[in-house]
Structure 1
Amino acid sequence: MFDVQRIRQDFPILSRKVNNKPLIYFDNAATSQTPKQVIDAIVDYYSNYNANIHRGVHSLSQEATDKYEEARLKIKDHFNAKHSHEIILTSGTTHGINLVAHGFGSILNSNDEVLVSALEHHSNIVPWQMLCEATGAKLKVIPMNNEGELVMTEFDKLISNKTKLVFVNHVSNALGTINPISYIIAESHKVGAAVLIDGAQACPHIKPDVQNLNVDFYVASAHKMCGPTGVGMLYGKEEWLRKLPPYQGGGEMIAEVTFEKTTYADLPHKFEAGTPNICGGIAFGAALDYMNTIGFDAIANYEHQLLKYATKKLKEIEGLKIYGISAQKTAVVSFNLEGIHPYDIGTILDKMGIAVRTGHHCAQPIMDFFKIPGTVRASFSFYNTIEEIDCLIDGVMKAKDMLS
């Protein structure tokens, strides 16, 4: 039995009040909350072995280095990478995407094509636009339908021998749609294209196996997975990481420096210039330990029940429309009330202690497709409850009564 009340005890913030109401946190797609096990790892680092890593001969440096590299191994095992040096520790998903985009700037030319999907976050659109502007390559878009799913027959038409790169999110942050990435990866490889999957929204709910997927690049952020902000990971196949040039220059990413010539360090340090977020990396490992202790199958099953319940209850509200109704979804419900701006709904919910996200969710093309300014997005995690969803329904009804 999934003991959500016991799990909730691990999250100190869930016991606080907002506007004199018990906090109900439904903004997990933006940032998840942090359990005390991860907080303890952060405190332990700064209390007991805070030091810069790699090359230091003193004990604190060696201890910090060991802990940091242990975290890299945890990430490698979690995502089932073949080698730990295929895991590049970054500041987050956006950093990882830009690292890859920068690298392909020396590879693409004006005859090449790049595919992105209509369901992307801005961080998986803008870097590729910049790449295409710099190289002359053509950016093409896999369209979406009214259910919030990619139109795969159009993908089949778009993919060609000119396609060199394909970028798709594993899960839509705005709608919760789970994309058919296995098919996309396989078909892209048939024409020799590399594939990057934005896993920021998938990883809190799904445990990706990068070897089984046979994906070329996969990116994620710790702060979506019970970890701290400012740290994430890029997985890249070794052969691709060796082909790409460094993203930044500086300390750590070098083998030898003279004023005449610099040679670069081996993987993964080639892409990790400067002092990293040491504590963040260690805490990322602690967050993975915590989530794996609960179990991703258990998390997925419980969150699916939350999603089903919330969807059913929201559909009963007259004038409410849900956006993104794919059969394959994570625990996200994006909706609007007829004639009411989503910001106004979010403001009333906040007065009741309920945290939701309102706006375009950094996915303006999706909102343009539906011809709306934005949505109210309630995104659930394994520490949320049915009772909290009942409070959300009451809050939406109150907003409707006040604003209609």
Structure 2
Amino acid sequence: MPTENPLISVIVPIFNAEPYLEQCLLSIENQTYPNIEIICLNDGSTDNSLSIMRRHEERDSRIKIVDKENQGYGATCNRGLEEACGYYISIVEPDDWIEPDMYLSMVACASVFNETIDIVKTPYWRIWLPDTPDQHKLNCSYRNRVHPPSQPFTIGDAAHLLAHHPSIWSAIYRKGFLDENSIHFRPFPGAGWADNPFLVETLCQAKAIAYFDEPFYCYREETPEKSKSFALNNTLLPLERWNDMMDVLEQLDVTDERVLRAHYSRGFTYLSGIIEEVDLTHAHVRDAATAMFKRMDQQIVLSDPEISPGCKRMFCDLRKLPAPKIDRIGYLRGLFGQGIYNLKNTGVRNTFFATKNFLVKRKARTGRK
């Protein structure tokens, strides 16, 4: 067990974050849990980010600046892991911010257990339409949904966490756990979605996860326009990362159907987001989708009531399997339950927006025009 007030190393990988960095750093400095070190890693920024870091360093001795050449998100986080001295590791992205009691609450959560906790996980706030007059906070898509039979737990008892946004930053990680399992980030160029493999490597190897269903991390979501631009310019990246995650599951010999089901769900989500913009008539998309589907267990996919009939038909078509038997009642029951959850979790306005978007793009998301 850690000391009463374990040190937390906060890793902040920074590249050209000038518009948001002041808010981010202040939110870390103003934590009600003071025993932290703040490792600001300047990844070759060309704006005024380094000047902002230095200004904060002058007034807060807990800040350490690492000024380095540009290497990308993964390599920069790895440098932060090398520099960190804390019992726990936290990652805060420089365009986000955290609420004052985040670390105090996470350490308190871990302290109630007799076991050594590897990961403390929480939900997060979605900052919808950030920096516009319509900006508002929404619950993330797994708040009030994670109910392990006991705590602490291993990921099979809360596999739902593997189906949603990686959100690796809404957690703290025991550094000894990361070191013992040689867990680090893949050094992909740029942002590279390096959080995807890290999510699986951590959650699937942790022997003791504690979940506290209270959001503290404020995540600036991409606008719909930026998401569309990403899909057009980085079309296959999500499927590449899905395959990286599948590689990890195979290397770890994960056979738990609950975990595989969650990972397959992520694959369908990623593919649906791609083919909304670049459909299956494009050979490279069709080939990548087929390759992904061949890595999925047919029985698990076709028996999953949460995978839509259209997605199951697409799966069978690309794998050249017989047309699937469809349990429409089970699927519609699930849709109704999802709608009720959305109303409670994000309110009427956002549920209406999400439903409208789902209906408009329903055919495109299953490979049909």
TM range (shorter): under 0.3
TM-score, length of structure 1 as denominator length: 0.22
Between Structure 1 and Structure 2, whose CA radius of gyration is higher?
A: 1
Higher helix share: 2
